[in-house]
Structure 1
Amino acid sequence: MKNTRTLGKYTLVAAMTLLSLIPFYILLYLALNNPSRTLFNGLSLLPDFNFSNFSEAWESSKMGLATLNSLIIAIGGAVLIILAASSAGYAIARYSNKFHQSVFNVLLICMMIPAIIITVPLYTLMKSIGGINTHWAMILLMASNGVPFSVFLYTGFIKVLPREIEESAIIDGCTPFTAFWRVTFHFLRPVTAAVVILQGLAIWNNYGQAVFFLQGQDMRTIPLAVSMFFQQYGAQWNLMAAAAVIGLAPAVLAFLVFQQYFVKGITAGAVKG
């Protein structure tokens, strides 16, 4: 009976894994096909292995420049989110009072508001301060989108850390500020990795707001570059899929680098908090 249950569990896991991989297989299938072939022909499940799609997609959509723009915005946004959210989470967790709790509640409410809803007033604001088609404005915008949920994670994670960590540093002469950045922040690597993955990928894949605020050709990010194959060139599925694979590679690499901390950061920050 026990062996049957174990076999059933492994079968279920294998089936879920297979279902999760199907979209990636279809994407690679389209990326390696000739332009005249988009879907499966008959019973053939193998593509044409046309690797020239990647070079053509790279050149026609200026994928190199789009990748650089995405990296600048994603790294800048992630750094701002980590600095702001970790500091706010520390203040809320360690110095709890009515004001800090009110701020925390406001941030929780902000988590429930879809970012796309405030795009129009944000566009008016960005236009008035000269933020359209600039990296700095998009970085600030992406950081503001990601701070509320990140504060929620950091607050929960810091609450389960013993206070003696920073108290010992304060006794040795550190101020609360330096004790946090020199001592406590070292123990926040799991939740920081979770924030980098969640918010970094959200910024990397952002299209809904990037299409409003990054209208210049030289400012396009990867999602905007991929969308070109629907707007400028029509529905060129092979090039669209090839560009999507190129854009997906850095995100997968980042996840593999930080994934060992990901689950620990999410469970400690969200469940125990």
Structure 2
Amino acid sequence: MKTVSTAFKYAIVAFIVLIALIPFYVLLYLALNAPSSHSFRGLFLVPEFHFANFAEAWKGSKIDKSIFNSLVITSGAVALIVLVSSSAGYSIARFRHKANALIFNTLLLCLTIPAIIITVPLYSLMKSIHGINTHWAMILLMAANAMPLSVFLYSSFIRTLPKEVEESAIIDGCTYFTAFWRITFHFVRPVTSAVVILTGLGIWNNYGQAVFFLQKQEMRTVPLAVSMFFQTYGAEWNKMAATALIGLLPAVAVFLVFQKYFIKGIMAGALKG
């Protein structure tokens, strides 16, 4: 009976995974089809393996520049997020007083506000500081958007660590700052991986704000480049699918690098806090 129950659970999981993979298979199928094919052909839905689509999509969409822009903005924002939110999370978790509680509750409140709502005032601010069409302004903006969730995850995770982790270093003469970066930060690698994946993918795929603040063609990120390519080559499904896959690959690579810590970081950072 237990064996049947386990097999049923695995079957349900396999079914869910299959359903989730269908859109990606359709995308891959269309990307590998010949230019004359715009739909499924054959009984087993086997593509024609027309790899020239990727070369044409790369050249036509000029996505190489967009990938560079996305890499600069995403890596810069993620580095800033990890640096600031881990320090803030440590301060909130270890030094509990009214000011920290107020800051923490304010950050939680910010999680309920959709980023698109504040786009208009942000545009006025970005224009006044000459941040439109610049990497540095988008890095600051994306980091600010992701900071509330990141601080919440770090502070919740650090609360689960015993204070003895850094107290011995403090007794030996280290400051709280050096004790955190030399000792405690090594213990928060799981939640750091979770933060990198969650915030990194969100920034990489951001379209709603990038379309307002990155208006020049040479500053477009991957989502903007894919969108403009779709508008230009709307009937050529093979090129559109190939472009979308090219833009997706860097995000998938990052996820594969950090995925073994991802679930552990989410469970420890969100559920134990």
TM-score range, shorter chain: over 0.9
Q: Matches of 1:191 and 1:61 in 2, distance apart?
A: 36
State the Cα deviation string for residues 97-149 of structure 1 (Å, max 9, x = none).
11111111110010111111111111111111110110000000100010000
* Deviation at residue 42 of structure 1 after TM alignment: 5.9
The residue aligned with 1:185 is 185
**Counterpart of 1:4?**
4
Q: State the partner residue of 1:269.
A: 269
1:120 maps to amino acid: V
- The whole-number CA distance in structure 2 between the counterparts of 1:80 and 1:131 is 17
Alignment RMSD (CA, Å): 1.1
Partner residue of 1:205?
A: 205
Q: What stretches of structure 2 of length at least 5 have no aligned partner?
A: none
C-alpha distance in 2 between matches for 1:37 and 1:5: 44
Q: State the match for 2:260 in structure 1.
A: 260
Match of 1:164 in 2: 164
Please show how residues 1-273 of structure 1 align to structure 2 within 5 Å. Answer: 1-41=1-41, 43=43, 45-273=45-273
Q: What letter is aligned with 1:266?
A: I
Shift of 1:172: 1.2
Identity of aligned residues (%): 68
What amino acid does structure 1 have at the position aligned with 2:33? N
Counterpart of 2:258, as a letter, is F
Deviates more, 1:230-239 or 1:127-136: 230-239
SS at match of 2:126: helix
The answer to whether the Cα contact below 8 Å between 1:89 and 1:158 also exists between their aligned partners in 2 is yes
Q: Give the residue type in structure 2 aligned to 1:212.
A: F
* Displacement of 1:41: 3.4
> Residue 229 of structure 1 contacts residue 235 of structure 1 at CA under 8 Å; is this kept in 2?
no
Q: Which amino acid aligns with 2:26?
A: I
Hey, what's the Cα distance between the residues in 1 that align with 2:111 and 2:33? 41
Question: Runs of 5+ in structure 1 lacking a partner?
Answer: none
Question: 1: distance between equivalents of 2:19 and 2:233?
Answer: 31
Distance of 2:39 and 2:60 partners within structure 1: 23
TM-score (norm 1): 0.97
How far does the alpha carbon of each residue in 1:181-207 deviate from its partner, in whole angstroms, 9 at most, with x for none? 111111110000000000000001111
Per the normalisation by structure 2, the TM-score is 0.97
SS at match of 1:243: helix
Q: How many residues are matched?
A: 273
For 1:68 and 1:242, the matched residues in 2 are separated by 18
